[in-house]
Chains A and B, each alone.
Chain A
Amino acid sequence: MPYISVEEHLPGITGLLEYRKDSAEPIRELTQYLLRGPSTLTEGERELIATIVSYNNQCRFCTAAHTAAADLLFDDDSVTEKVKQNIETSPVSEKMKALLMIAWHVQQGGKEVTTSDIVRAKDAGATDIEIHDTVLIAALFCLYNRYVDGLATVAPPAPEFYKGLAERLVNHGYTRLPQGYDHLKKK
């Protein structure tokens, strides 16, 4: 049971973002820009960064949600699975391997990112903006994971829940639904 009183039909992050809307807005806008805005990284690659950070923070809700979003964007379930097992042997580009290693180090602590991590990414063709966005996406998911788990929100066990959520994240994005979320209440 969550530590504070949030709407029961909104598990995970959604109930928290609805609980306090003035803080939710810049968080939603930041996420929309970083994960869906103009970028030389694909939406799938950016969801992969969100996934690996959430997975290493052991945040069940965020890991399941962003895994499902990445799987949908890649139209392939195996990429997220292999990245979780081992970044170095996963079927992503050398540049993405370097960026995922940076994200993984950010998850451990900002100071864990080394000059050699950065050199490797630049040698693989990563731009300053790509490195910046990778670090900020990883840092942002350290916020989300702590927000979601620090208030003990509910992570539904059913995989179908995350498939539905992923469709919303892929088709609509991260901004608040214009009609709100009352339509998700069980009839």
Chain B
Amino acid sequence: MPHIQVPEGVPGIRSLVMFRPETGQYLYKLAQVLLREESPLTPAERELIATHVSARNACVFCMSSHAAAARELYKEDRAIVDCVIRDGDAAPVTPKMKALLVIAGHVQQNGKNVTEADIAAARAEGATDRDIHDTVLIAAAFSMFNRYVDGLASFTPTDPKEYDAMGVRLAAVGYTLPKPVSA
């Protein structure tokens, strides 16, 4: 049961932003900017970073919903997503993405765990300042989203079909604030 009185039966972050749309509007805007708007990384690659961090934080709601979005966006290459969840190092992604996933994994632990060697390895595979910046900020943002969702014990559906539907919606329309419940 959620720790606070959020709308019943609404899953994860949606229930929290419906409880407090004053802050929710900025959280959804941030997700939209980071995962869909202009970046050298594709939306699929950015959803993969979100999935990787959420998996490492064991945030089931965020991991399952962003994995579903990433599968939709990767289309025929959707198997990549489950490889990354199982073992980021062994996933069939580009060498640049592999290096960026290492950086994201270190951000998930603590910002200080990102080393000069991590950055040099990413640059050697062609990563630019902006690739590195966006990776670090997406990983940091999911360190926030995961704590928000689990710290308030929001409802986590267990039926995989529910996440498939979320993935379709997130791939097609992105991050739009759900309508608040009227008082």
Q: What residues of chain A have their CB less than 8 Å away from a CB belonging to chain B?
A: 3-5, 16, 19-20, 22-23, 25-27, 29-30, 33-34, 37, 57-59, 102, 105-106, 109-111, 113, 115, 118, 128-129, 131-133, 135-136, 138-140, 142-152
Contact = CB atoms under 8 A, between A and B. Distances in A.
A23 B33 contact: yes
Contacts of B3: 113, 115, 118, 131
Interface string B139-167: 11101111111111100000000000000
A113 B136 contact: no
B111 A33 contact: no
B140 A146 contact: yes
Interface in B22-63: 22-23, 26-27, 29-30, 33-34, 37-38, 57-59
Nearest to A57: B110
Contact of B111 (A113, A132, A149): A149
Interface residues of B, number: 49
B136 A150 contact: yes
B90 to A, nearest CB: 24
A176 to B, nearest CB: 14
Q: From DSSP, what is the main secondary structure of chain A's interface residues?
A: helix
A4 B40 CA distance: 15
B147 A146 contact: no
B65 to A, nearest CB: 15
A138 B139 contact: no
A145 B111 CA distance: 7
A139 B133 CA distance: 20
B110 A33 contact: no
A132 B26 contact: no
A3 B38 CA distance: 21
A80 B181 CA distance: 38
Given A110-B148, A128-B5, A139-B144, A152 B114 contact: yes
B141 A143 contact: yes
Interface string B75-100: 00000000000000000000000000
B137 A109 contact: no
A23 B144 CA distance: 15
By Cβ-Cβ distance, the 5 closest A-B pairs, closest first, are A110-B150, A149-B111, A146-B140, A150-B111, A30-B26
A21 to B, nearest CB: 10
B170 interface: no
